[in-house]
Structure 1
């Protein structure tokens, strides 16, 4: 049996990096994926402007050690990335004693499909909207 997930989407925020007490580097980020919104008949839904409406889903991605360090150093909000990994379900008890459940993707590989824009003299970095020329399709 196999547990493989492949997602392509945009980072919802800059990655967060931490280290465990055992010295393992961990980077986490949210990844947004979109698909066309459908009406009750299954047809693509258009908004008032005539554009195809999108449903966006958010996925929690976790990267360990070298991959985690690379992601924390080079990835930024809005970048387009491809993630290959596996689903991992978690269960925990929150501070109020309520049992919670979650799902996350443990990444084995993350490919950058866009580059962050170079910051102007006093500005912030925004990702390029086009794909890298060296990414094979």
Structure 2
């Protein structure tokens, strides 16, 4: 049950090609944005689609696979955990950032 405490599963479309950074120790970091959409009918019977954007972070071999295999528009399924961070911007304002640190992903489909 411990693994359920901070667990996220999403299926959506990539909004960008992976941004990959390589470090001295041969470690890689990939950042992606993932769009998930939900549709429903409003009170007037009109279809409404709402899209949520999620920041994804992948490390190591996952980052390498993302760099080699993923492109903007691809559909992927991910499993990971939420990580909340904060920082002070150049103007001295405290900013908050939420991301999903991905443990695994599967490419479900290519670009439409």
> How high is the TM-score relative to the length of structure 2?
0.88
Question: RMSD of aligned C-alpha atoms?
Answer: 1.8
2:22 aligned residue: 19
Higher RCO (CA-CA < 8 Å; seq separation 6+): 2
Q: Deviations over 1:38-58 (max 9, x none)?
A: 53x5x7x52xxxxx3310000
Which one has a larger percent strand, Structure 1 or Structure 2?
2
Gaps of 5+ in 1: 47-51, 116-126, 130-137
Query: Any stretches of 5+ residues in structure 2 without a counterpart?
Result: none
Alignment of 1:22-101 (within 5 A): 23-37=26-40, 39=42, 41=43, 46=46, 52-101=47-96
Q: TM-score, normalised by structure 1?
A: 0.73
Structure possessing the higher radius of gyration over alpha carbons: 1
The structure richer in helix per residue is: 2
- Per-residue CA distance 1:88-115 (angstroms, 9 max, x = gap): 0001001111000010000000100013
Aligned-pair CA distance for 1:24: 2.6
